[in-house]
Amino acid sequence: MNAGFGAGTPRDPLDARWYVRVGTDIYGPYSGHQMRGYVAEGRITAQSMIALEGARDWTAAANDQILGPYVAASTAFQRVEAKPAHVEAAALSSPVTAERPAATADYQLCNFVIIFPNGARATTRLEQTIMNLGPACKLSSTVWIVSAKETAASVRNMLTEFFGKNDSLLVVDATRGKAAWFNFGPEQESRIRRVWQRGDRHAA
């Protein structure tokens, strides 16, 4: 890859662009916002080889300074079922049009509490997205409740694009007693996991 191609540092790190290598094929460039979406969908994993536009070398997505935290957050909450360790060429070369299976147990109507303690980068778009999920109520500038046919993880994945690197998000599924979160530090994440696991044991 030619060094210096597309030089210039964007103000928002996710406005930068990346290439993705699948075997001997190279795809892109894709903006950080697109890449973040691919990560959330599992199309790009920790082992996917990517390169920032203008870089000389390829690196695993997990080691990328900008995308690495999103990869780590997505990996931590992926289901146990096996996922491919690379991006499929067809997935990258075609529009993102993943369809949700209809009327499954995972997507029953549930009540969610959405909390973003530090605010959000794109508040207006974030609030509109929350309201589009279903009946919603804004309790404060950083707390919403909403009823939707979603899971905690799917709600989190829909909303993460509106948050910056210093923002955090917690989605609580009050119906199922589940939670999903984004961009909390290791210590906070450990505390959340301990509380949630303890609650699961008591419920059992």
Could you list the residue range(s) of the whole structural domain that residue 164 is in?
105-203
Determine, yes or no, domain membership for 43.
Answer: yes
Q: List, for residues 23-49, the tens digit of each pLDDT value.
A: 767 788 888 888 988 888 778 888 888
Q: Hey, which residues does 15 pair with through a beta bridge?
A: none
- Which 3 state secondary structure label does DSSP give 58? coil
78 and 146 share one domain: no
Q: List, for residues 97-129, the tens digit of each pLDDT value.
A: 333 333 445 568 999 999 998 888 878 889 999
Of 90, 82, 5, 77, residue with least CA distance to 39: 77
How open is the CA angle 53-168-175, to the nearest 5 degrees? 125
Which of these three, 52, 70, 93, is where a domain ends?
93
Cβ distance 19 to 1 under 8 Å?
Answer: yes
97 burial type by CB count under 10 A (0-12 exposed, 13-18 middle, 19+ buried): exposed
* Average pLDDT of the segment spanning 68-80: 70
Determine, yes or no, domain membership for 27.
Answer: yes
